[in-house]
Structure 1
Amino acid sequence: MQRPSRDLLNPAPLSSDGFDPATHRFAYYDFVMAAFVTVLLLSNVIGAAKPTFITIDGEQWVYGAGILFFPLGYVIGDVLTEIYGYARARRVIWAGFAALLFMAFMSYVVVTLPPADGWDGQAAYESVFGQVPRIVLASIVAFWAGEFVNSYVMARMKIWTRGRALWSRTIGSTIVGQGVDSLIFYPLAFYGEWETNQVITVMITNWLLKVSWEVVLTPVTYLVVGWLKRREGVEVFDTATDFTPFSTKV
């Protein structure tokens, strides 16, 4: 059910007479979709290839640079579900999934093409854009499952909380969604290549870092959600939504 919004984050039930969710034109939905897909692709292309570290008590903790920006995709995913509902978030997830597939295909083709005579950047290009098929598969599958779980939990919790306590939904959905993402990605990508305890340690560490990022960015989420709700003028509650992930209908 979708209803006009009166209160910024704690809406009161209002009549939805004359409001058709299937035909309503949202002013900023396309921009949020573009932001989601952009962050998704760039965090996988730019950040994934570079390991970096932080020093804690004199010890280096290595992590992938992409983890600094990849959680922004979950923040935007939360915003999408909160503002536009599960069905429209589902369309964006499928758009991101298709974009990831094309990125993997394009990277493979471009890296495989023979370099022109005189160009000596092939090795560096391969080190950045060359992809291990197993890791690519793990990344795409984990993204798909994690994002859908994140959006589903977000939408369900919004109904349970009657639209209140936004922080509980954003953090709660990220705990579950990122948990599913990590549980799929790290074993699928590295089991048998790394020691089992290393896979588990990295999986838990990265999950904690991503959830921590969500907590840190909660004030930003509140600002973005509040700004969009004021401008879109509707409140979406998925009380009659078909939650199948295998659809793009709104």
Structure 2
Amino acid sequence: MFNLWFGVIFMLVHFSLFLLSYRLFGKVGVYAWIGMATVLANIQVVKTVELDLGLTAIVITLGNTIYGTIYLASDLLNEKYGEKAAKKAVWFGFFTLIASTIIMQMALLFKPAEGVEFSLEAHNALSAIFGLLPRISLGSLCAYFISQFLDVRLYSMLKRAFPKPGQLWIRNNGSTVISQLVDTLIFTTIAFAGVYEGEVWLSIFLSTYIIKFIVSLVSTPFLYAARSFTFRDE
């Protein structure tokens, strides 16, 4: 049960730190958070944890919470600064993801110092984290690019259909729930289709999407809070 309850705290810490970044640095803080989140999500995804749900237990990868904050960030930018600002954030995150992947793959090509045990251990650790299989890297890039632009587009459409301040939860969850479904489908298909049997693939797909759906719901109050922030220079 530790993982389950600690996961709740883990999720709340993510959203609280996002709010703090926006409160302290304004719109720049949102862009900075997106850059950080795209990198951390792909580091955390290599670690799997088991969640004890009482009658059953599921195994999930980390990274879903921090990845969910990216949708929160783009929705916030769309809500307060418009679709253009949200699209710019998507491109920013995509560039950050590609740049960090290229740089770390090049870093792994360096031969570690001979006779220095710590250097070899560090190299092996970095290889385990950043030496992702090509299919996983491709799946992550494709899923991010398509789902994020879809989220921005859907949010803009829902913003016109449900423009009232009290309907923010419709705009937020409506766009995120659909775009994250597409994100999960693209990633799990590219990364795992043919690698696992159909039942296993379906289990990964469903558990991943359910976690993302929960994260989306939890993020809504934080989006309301972030929308209320005002800045003199904006």
Assess same fold via TM > 0.5. Answer: yes
Shift of 1:188: 0.7
Match of 2:66 in 1: 69
The offset of 1:158, in angstroms, is 0.7
Counterpart position of 1:31: 29
What is aligned with 2:120? 120
Q: Which runs of 5+ in 1 are unaligned?
A: 1-26, 235-250
Q: Which runs of 5+ in 2 are unaligned?
A: 1-24
Q: Which has the larger radius of gyration?
A: 1
- Secondary structure of 2:75's aligned partner: helix
Structure 2 contact 58–207 (Cα < 8 Å) conserved: no
2:20 corresponding residue in structure 1: none
The 5 Å alignment of 1:229-244 reads 230-231=230-231
Query: C-alpha displacement at 1:220, in angstroms?
Result: 1.1
Alpha-carbon distance in structure 2 between the residues aligned to 1:123 and 1:187: 28
Q: Which has the higher contact order (CA 8 A, sep 6+)?
A: 1
Larger mean Cα displacement after TM superposition, 152-161 or 61-70? 61-70
Q: Give the C-alpha shift of residue 28 in structure 1.
A: 2.6
Q: 1:41 aligns with which of 39, 44, 69?
A: 39
Q: TM-score, normalised by structure 1?
A: 0.77
Aligned mate of 2:89, from 87, 92, 95: 92
For residue 128 of structure 1, what is the amino acid of its counterpart? I
Is 1:216 the equivalent of 2:218?
yes
Q: Equivalent pairs: percent with the same residue?
A: 25
Aligned 8 A contact 2:177 2:216 in 1: no
Q: 2:189 matched to which residue of 1? A: 187
Look up the equivalent residue of 2:39 and give its one-letter code.
Answer: L
User: Which amino acid is the alignment partner of residue 110 of structure 2?
Assistant: L
> Judging changes above 3 Å, is the alpha-carbon distance between structure 1 residues 233 and 218 closer, same or farther for their aligned structure 2 residues?
farther
Distance 1:155 1:68 in 2: 23
Aligned length: 205
**Match of residue 154 from structure 1:** 155
- Alignment check: 8 A CA contact 1:108 1:131 kept: no
Corresponding position of 1:106:
103
Secondary structure at the counterpart of residue 120 of structure 2: coil
For the residues of structure 2 that align with 1:66 and 1:232, how far apart are their CA atoms? 34
Report the aligned-residue RMSD: 1.8
Aligned twin of 2:22: none
- The offset of 1:162, in angstroms, is 2.1
Query: What is the Cα deviation at residue 58 of structure 1?
Result: 5.3
Which whole-Å CA distance do the structure 1 matches of 2:126 and 2:26 have between them? Answer: 36
- Equivalent residue, structure 2, for 1:12: none
Cα deviation 1:153-180 (Å, max 9, x = unaligned)? 1111111112430000100001111011
